[in-house]
Amino acid sequence: MAIGRGRFAPSPTGDLHLGSLVAALASSLDARHRGDDWLLRLEDIDQARAVPGAADRIVSALKLFGFVWPEPVLVQSKNLQAYENALDLLQTQGRLFVCHCGRGSYQGAYPGTCRHVGRLLPEEPRPKSGVAIRLNTQDSGTLRWQDGWQGWQQQALENDIGDFVIRRKDGFHAYQLAVVVDDGAQGITRVVRGMDLLDNTPRQLFLQRLLGLSEPEYAHLPLVVEPDGTKLSKSRSSAAVAALGPTTALRLALKLLRQPEPPTVLNNPHDLHTWAAAQWNPTVLSSVTHLHLP
Ligand SMILES: [Zn+2]
C-alpha cells in the first residue's frame, strides 16, 4: 500500500501561535500515527498579508519544536506557474469569467451577474489584474464528504456560495485554487486543519473534480479559543508560545487536544512527538468545535 501524506500549511501572517501549534501538532501526530509522511507548505499566496520574516520564523520554530518533514517546503509564491496552468485548464472548460461587481453589490451567495457576459473563451488572454476572475459553479450539485471528526457534511455550492473568485482583482490567485493545486502536487491524502476552513471544503472538492485531482480525506480540528470562548488573540498567544518554550508548549498543545499526559521523563520535543504519535487518539475530538485555553 502506498504511504499516505498529511501536511501543515501555515500562512506567514505572523509568528507561530498556540492555535497554529495545535494544528501543526495534530496534523503531524495524525500522519505519524498512520505511518504517513507529513509535509510542510507555506501559504503565502496572499502577498498583501504576508509579514516579512514570518515565514522563516515559523519554519525555525517548527524545527525547534521537534517537527520533521522529509521534503523541501513548498512555497506558494514560488509556484505561480502551476496555478496559471490550472486556470488554463478551467478556462478551456469554459468555467472562467471576469467579474466587475464591486464589494457590497450583492449579499450572500454571488448571484451569477457576470457569468455569461464576462465569460472567457478558451484561447482568450486573461486580464492580469484589475478585475476578479470567478469560477462558474453551474451543475456543481450538492458536494458531500464524511469529515474525519465532524461527521457527514454537505453544501449546495451554487446556491450557498455561488460562483467564487479564483483569481483576485489584485492579481493574486485565490486560496481555494492554490490549496487544491498544491494538495494535488504534494500528493496529500489526508488534510487535517482547523474548523475555520470547514465550509471551504466543498469549493475545493469541486475544483478537484474539475482539475481531475484525487480527493483527500478531510478531518477538521476544533478551534483554539480564549478561556471565555472569544477568538484567540494571535499576537498574545504567539508571545505565550515563545515564552513557554518547546517542551512546555507541546505539553499544553497535547492537553488542549485532549490527549493523554506524557510521562515527566519525556523532556525533549523529539521524545514527546514520538510518544504522542503512538498514543494519538483523535476520537476525543469528534464533534468538538472549540478548545478552550486554560
Ligand atoms: Zn460580477
pTM flag (> 0.75): yes
In a domain, 233, yes or no: yes
CA 137 / ligand 1 centre spacing (Å)? 13
- H/E segment holding residue 201: helix 201-211
CA angle 45, 50, 51 (to 5 degrees): 160
Please write the tens of the pLDDT for every residue from 129-181: 999 999 999 999 999 999 999 999 999 999 999 999 999 999 999 999 999 99
Show Cβ contacts of residue 141 under 8 Å, excluding neighbours closer than 6 positions.
156, 157
**Containing structural domain, residue 36:** 5-77+222-292
**Do 240 and 206 have their domain in common?**
no
Residue 277 has pLDDT above 90, yes or no: yes
Q: Strands 164-167, 132-135: parallel, antiparallel or unpaired by DSSP? A: antiparallel
CA–centroid distance, residue 166 to ligand 1 (Å): 13
Nearest-CA neighbor of 213 among 205, 201, 221?
205
Residues around ion ligand 1, judged by CB within 5 A, are 99, 101, 113-114
Based on the domain organization, do 58 and 85 belong to the same domain? no
State how many domains the chain has.
Answer: 2
The confidence score (pLDDT) of residue 1 equals 55
Whether 191 is in a domain gets the answer no
Residue 32 is assigned to a structural domain of this protein: yes
pLDDT, one tens digit per residue, over 16-71 is: 999 999 999 999 999 999 999 999 999 999 888 889 999 999 999 999 999 999 99
Using the mean position of ligand 1's atoms as its centre, give its distance from the Cα of residue 99 in Å.
Answer: 4
The mean predicted confidence, pLDDT, of the chain is 95
CA 251 – CA 283 distance, rounded (Å): 19
CA–centroid distance, 107 to ligand 1, in Å, is 12
Q: How far apart are CA 191 and CA 27, in angstroms?
A: 8
Same domain? 90 vs 169: yes
In a domain, 27, yes or no: yes
Could you tell me the distance, in angstroms and rounded to a whole number, from the CA of residue 102 to the centre of ligand 1?
Answer: 8
| Same domain? 84 vs 141 | yes
* Residue 89 CA to ligand 1 centre (angstroms): 21
